[in-house]
Amino acid sequence: MSTPALTTAPQAIDPTFENVWDEIVWRGLVHVSTDQEALRALLAGAPVTYYCGFDPTAPSLHLGHLVQLLLLRRLQLAGHKPLGLVGGSTGLIGDPRPTAERTLNTRETVAEWVDRLRGQVERYLSFEGENAARMVNNLDWTAPLSAIDFLREIGKHYRVGTMLKKDAVAARLNSDAGISYTEFSYQILQGLDFLELYRQYDCVLQTGGSDQWGNLTSGTDLIHRVEGVSVHAIGTPLITNSDGTKFGKSEGNAIWIDAELTSPYAFYQFWLSTADADVIERLKVFTFLTRAEIEEYAELVATEPFRRAAQKRLALEVVATVHGVEATAAVIAASEALFGQGDLTALDAATLRTALDELPHATVAAGTPVVDALVATGLVSSLSEARRAIAQGGVSLDGERVEDDTAIVQGTLPGGVSVLRRGKKTLAGVFLG
């Protein structure tokens, strides 16, 4: 299947801002930081090395990590030098969660996830030019370090009273679960990372989520004590919806950037369903649209919200960034065809299958009557209701109206599947098996 050409925003710094610091502040990416005036001057000056760490506590990064990946890229576009750290050692420990101890994964699992996450991070950075990115693994400097050396050279710079005040630690101490010495020590390991990167690469800035602020400042404090210099940290806001719900969660499931865990079609639908109250802030954080372009979409949200122009652009931009233009074109075509604005028979079989997986669906035998398939997919509750819906002209199969209740499902769409529709917007997938 040939897919239509899509136009996406080029990855670039908006020239209407005096420097990249002003732009990331406007985009709402700075929730907390070290000295803001010093940071503004730092990022406006000669290229500096900065980093963000990603722990392999799952086989994929998710939407919260995407904020960091795009911030890494924005700073690189401004001429600075990124280090992408995947935590082969910190992933064996895991940062403290607010409520309960993490289950420790095996070394083999963590090593596998390190490789997966490294590949994901690399897609967002450029490894060419004077400010080429570099990938690092903190296992390289922690594995050779003995417990005695760790305590003598690093641990002696930490005060337990200060460590107890960190938000994540304090939350756990006040919970029934308490906190193990293993997770209590996580902040020391992250501080060691910043110190090592400062020594090896002259790294002077770390970015991360604001919920990691205690871990970020662990590094800035350690470097100040050991090296006598001031380095910096930026904590990005935790993205939440305007109604206060946690962003990127649906019925307890994270939205992953790995296509095997969250399909590009489901990813596209997630962004397309963004509320009007949230969409402009999402455009600022997750796209490279300019300030002027985003202001135009803000006007459209205010005057013509029914067109959902901002949501469509948001979905296009983010899915293209994460999954590529070709996959994005395929899921847009599938979305439009499923909802009556395109040719179902022209869709890519794999994309159609993953799209139907996100809908109510059922597997039936070839030759199954449509009335039975309607019940099996849950579009109706009984055979009599199915027959009434068909008699009223409210049922279609593979884009064609079903005229009588003796029709059968044949799986005529690419991949041998069928699409049932009841009314204008209620869809279900039918797989033959």
Is residue 95 very low, low, confident or very high in pLDDT (cuts 50, 70, 90)?
confident
- Same structural domain, 186 and 335: no
What per-residue string of b and e applies to 372-408 under the rule 16 or more CB within 10 Å gives b? bbbbbbebbeeeeebbebbeeeebbbbbeebeebebe
Encode pLDDT of 253-283 as tens digits: 789 999 999 999 999 999 999 999 999 999 9
Higher pLDDT, 285 or 245: 285
Higher pLDDT, 231 or 346: 231
pTM of the model: 0.91
- Same structural domain, 351 and 250: yes
- Same structural domain, 177 and 143: yes
Reduced to 3 states, what is the DSSP secondary structure of residue 381? coil
Encode pLDDT of 381-427 as tens digits: 999 999 999 999 999 999 899 998 899 998 999 999 999 999 888 99
Interatomic CA distance for residues 20 and 70, integer angstroms: 13
- Same structural domain, 41 and 190: yes
In a domain, 11, yes or no: no
Which residue range forms the structural domain that includes residue 248? 240-357
In a domain, 15, yes or no: no
**pLDDT, mean of residues 33-48:** 98
**CATH number of domain containing 205:** 3.40.50.620
- Quick one: pLDDT at residue 1? 39
Is residue 137 very low, low, confident or very high in pLDDT (cuts 50, 70, 90)?
very high
Last residue of a domain, one of 357, 384, 402: 357
- Same structural domain, 140 and 208: yes
- Same structural domain, 329 and 294: yes
Is residue 3 very low, low, confident or very high in pLDDT (cuts 50, 70, 90)?
very low
Higher pLDDT, 130 or 424: 130
Last residue of a domain, one of 212, 236, 260: 236
Last residue of a domain, one of 187, 213, 236: 236
Share of the chain above pLDDT 90, in %: 79
- Quick one: pLDDT at residue 5? 64
Encode pLDDT of 83-94 as tens digits: 999 999 999 988
- Same structural domain, 91 and 171: yes
- Quick one: pLDDT at residue 251? 52
- Quick one: pLDDT at residue 425? 81
- Quick one: pLDDT at residue 252? 63
Interatomic CA distance for residues 416 and 433, integer angstroms: 10
**CATH number of domain containing 335:** 1.10.240.10
Burial of 12 (0-12, 13-18, 19+ CB in 10 A): exposed
- Same structural domain, 350 and 393: no
- Same structural domain, 87 and 139: yes
C-alpha dihedral, 81 to 53 to 327 to 250, nearest 10°: -140
Strand segments, DSSP code E, in 321-381 are 361-364
**pLDDT, mean of residues 22-36:** 98
Interatomic CA distance for residues 310 and 272, integer angstroms: 9
Q: How many domains does the chain have?
A: 3
Is residue 286 very low, low, confident or very high in pLDDT (cuts 50, 70, 90)?
very high
Reference 92, options 64, 55, 146, 117; nearest CA is 55
The DSSP bridge partners found for residue 427 are 421
In a domain, 1, yes or no: no
* 36-40, 166-170, 310-314, range with the lowest pLDDT: 166-170
- Quick one: pLDDT at residue 39? 98
In a domain, 405, yes or no: yes
Strands 49-54 and 395-397: what pairing?
unpaired
Contact of 203 with 51, CB cutoff 8 Å: yes
In a domain, 345, yes or no: yes
Name every residue whose Cβ is closer than 8 Å to that of residue 45 and which is 6 or more positions away in sequence: none
**pLDDT, mean of residues 163-183:** 86
- Quick one: pLDDT at residue 2? 44
15 residue type, one letter: P
CA angle 130, 77, 26 (to 5 degrees): 150
- Same structural domain, 139 and 222: yes
- Same structural domain, 295 and 322: yes
pLDDT averaged over the chain?
A: 93
In a domain, 366, yes or no: yes
Interatomic CA distance for residues 334 and 343, integer angstroms: 9
Encode pLDDT of 200-233 as tens digits: 999 999 999 999 999 999 999 999 999 999 999 9
